[in-house]
Amino acid sequence: MGYSHVYAEAKADPDGFWMKAAEAIDWVTPPTKALFDDNAPLYEWFSDGTLNACWNAVDRHVEAGHGERIAIIHDSPITHSKHELTYAELRDRVASLAGALRAKGVEKGDRVIIYMPMVPEALEAMLACSRLGAIHSVVFGGFAANELAVRIDDCQPKCIIAASCGLEPGRVVHYKPLLDGAIEMATHKPDFCVIFQREQEVARLEEGRDYDWHGFQFGVEPAECVPVEGNHPHYILYTSGTTGQPKGVIRHTGGHMVALNWSMRNLYDMNPGEVFWAASDVGWVVGHSYICYAPLTFGCTTIVFEGKPVGTPDAGTFWRVIQDHGVKCLFTAPTALRAVKREDSQGALIGDYDISCLESLFLAGERADPDTIVWAQDKLGVPVVDHWWQTETGWCIAGNPLGIEKLPVKIGSPSVPMPGYDVQILDEGGHPVPDGDLGAIAVKLPLPPGTLPTLWNAEARFRKSYLDHFPGYYETGDAGYKDEDGYLYIMARTDDVINVAGHRLSTGGMEEVLASHPDVAECAVIGVADQLKGQMPMGFLCLNAGTQKSAEDVVSECVKLVREKIGPVAAFKLATVVQRLPKTRSGKILRGTMVNIADGKDYKMPATIDDPAILDEITEALKELGYPK
């Protein structure tokens, strides 16, 4: 059965299609139907079934006789270590951790924040929460204490599980002081914390609040899996919106399991027992879906990689990992390949390893530029699949479903919609535009299983951000077009979100931080094109009259402030002081025009511009920063 047939089947009979997919996972009580639309335009899937995500990801494989299969391989070129965990070992470790959390009062529905680097214990913590029906919220290690505090106040965790430190090349990231600082800042206080002490840095524990990961498990009774409803929130994952307040994307348990499990065979062409490697971080959606839940639920071996594509120790690391662990499918961000290509443009290091096990490379997280795709195809000799998705959807919206049919590749396009996604290109009025015309990309409701049902504690914001603009559709926030064969092209964001090294960041959030500097009267942050990271944030600062400090001092203080408030992951290093910002007559900052000037693109003088001369000042300031490149 080819792609068109499968896609049409899901469209004609979504209930039948997804109920069939649901048979591939274990239910305590099977659902009576797939879609629950009584509360439209809010939709849910499999609400009346009961199941447990940890059972599906771990226990069921042991029960089926695969306890000796490797579940997780940890490979850390930073600590020069590798080790493996079987499914049986993983089950025992997770059951023990869950038992210890339960003994301290963690129950179904409680929130648990996880702040950990790329160690297997991060997955164990996620799975232990799933086992109890507790709702985890993983926070990426590159975020600063303030971002962690915002998340603590929003989801109000009973417990925080953290590691003592993370390891970046050449630097230890001191997680514990960041955690302590965040708890101090937050209004909500967790009942307790669990600290996984790494040998690279042992953190001081606070008596009565902090427990040692190993010590607090001593003598506890392992926990069994707690059945939860299909619409029970499995996790909350915060992602950047247009403001500094991140959005808490919720994932419901039933649809999550069904969609991820379906995607492993049909999209990634995997079989149970094979090795799948998503070179991302558990702090991002790719890590949730494709380092943890999808490969494990499907019975694959997953790799937890603590390293970088370059510099740990060189641009051959990816190929070494593929060879050493027999990786069949690699999933990474284009920026990682650009980093490799920059250091080893001929791909000479690929020849040092036997990567004949590799059958496909999937790219996501940002637009895959044609140069990178062609380079990878040429050097690796396997299909390179660009696929498009978002934190909100949890799995692919458009891709090339290798497990169903390898469709012709059109470079620059992530190919076609996955079953369940009715993707339309709309004009401002919400009407579909002709093929080839640019518009806002929207998905006709309902979205398929596995996608977000709403935002944590913020249904009004969910409706406003995603549903209100185009009634009957989910607004993706991306703009692009569709060609005559139904292939999609994702060109840009329609909001103030930028994509830096595959990481989604809010320029609005950075502006809020800059505006808090006492000498800054007004500011704007834009994303400028960057050869390696795709985009880089750039700040324009207007200073208060009478400021005593030099422009250089304010710029360097602002750079420091963003690192302190948002974190190193914001990669905010470029800023300049200007007299005025270009605006429309109604006072809206012309960020799009500034981006065009910085990227050296032609632009039309906006008809509504208040004072065109300001653009000359911006052009001058950019020139001083070396832009356009």
Among 137, 217, 390, 400, binds ligand AMP (CB under 6 A): 390
Considering the complex, state which of residue 281 and residue 496 has its C-beta at the smaller distance from ligand COA.
281
Residue 475 structure tokens? 């607004």
Report how many residues bind ligand AMP under the rule CB under 6 A: 21
Both tokens of 330, joined, read 């690699």
In sequence order, what DSSP letters do the residues of 517-550 get, joined into one string? STTEEEEEEEEEEETTTEEEEEEEEEEPTT--S-
- For residue 417, give the H/E element and its range: strand 416-417
Which residues, 498 to 527, sit near ligand COA by CB under 6 A? 501-503
Residue 559 lies near ligand COA (rule: CB under 6 A) = no
Among 299, 365, 439, 527, binds ligand COA (CB under 6 A): 365
Helix, strand, coil share of the chain (percent; to 5): 35, 25, 40
Query: Is residue 263 a contact residue for ligand AMP (CB under 6 A)?
Result: no
Nearest Cα residue to 456 out of 253, 189, 251: 251
For the beta sheet containing 111-115, the strands, ordered from the edge strand earlier in sequence to the opposite edge, are: 210-212, 192-196, 159-163, 111-115, 135-138, 233-239, 247-252
Residue of the chain from 241, 309, 439, 509 that contacts ligand COA (CB under 6 A): 309
Q: How far is the CB of 617 from ligand AMP (least distance, A)?
A: 30
**Residue 280 found at the interface with ligand COA (CB under 6 A):** yes
According to DSSP, the β-strands at 327-332 and 360-363 are: parallel
Considering only residues 292-321, where is the footprint of ligand AMP by CB under 6 A?
none
Among 14, 166, 439, 450, binds ligand COA (CB under 6 A): 166
Closest CB 96 distance from ligand AMP, rounded Å: 33
- 50-51/275-278 β-pairing: unpaired
Q: Which is nearer to ligand COA, 147 or 599 (CB)?
A: 147
- Residue 574 binds to ligand COA (criterion: CB under 6 A): no
Phi-psi region of 94 (alpha: psi -120 to 50; beta: other; left: phi over 0): alpha
Nearest to ligand AMP of 440, 525 (CB atom) = 440
Q: Which of 246, 414, 439, 527 binds ligand AMP (CB under 6 A)?
A: 414
Task: Please work out, in degrees rounded to the nearest 5, the angle formed at the alpha carbon of residue 276 by the alpha carbons of 271 and 278.
Answer: 145
Residue 223, token pair as written in the block: 């926990």
Which residue stretch of 263-271, 489-497, 535-543, 566-574 sits at the interface with ligand COA (rule: CB under 6 A)? 566-574
Counting beta carbons within 10 angstroms of the beta carbon of residue 357, is it exposed (0 to 12), middle (13 to 18) or buried (19 or more)?
Answer: middle
Instruction: Tell me: does residue 289 bind ligand AMP (CB under 6 A).
Output: no
367 contributes a contact to ligand AMP by CB under 6 A: yes
233: contact with ligand COA by CB under 6 A: no
- Whether residue 41 is preceded by a cis peptide bond, meaning omega within 30 degrees of 0, is yes
Measured in residues, the chain has a length of 629
User: Smaller CB distance to ligand COA: residue 152 or 597?
Assistant: 152
The angle formed by the CA atoms of residues 568, 570 and 572, to the nearest 5 degrees, is 95
The answer to whether 493 contacts ligand AMP (rule: CB under 6 A) is yes
Residue 434 burial (CB < 10 Å; 0-12/13-18/19+)?
exposed
Binder of residue 440, out of ligand COA, ligand AMP, none (CB less than 5 to 8 A by kind)? none
Strand partners, 527: 537
Residues near ligand AMP (CB under 6 A) = 239, 285, 364-368, 386-391, 414, 476-478, 490, 493, 499, 504
Residues near ligand COA (CB under 6 A) = 141-142, 166, 168, 173, 279-281, 284, 286, 308-310, 332-333, 335-336, 339, 364-365, 501-503, 532, 568-569, 571
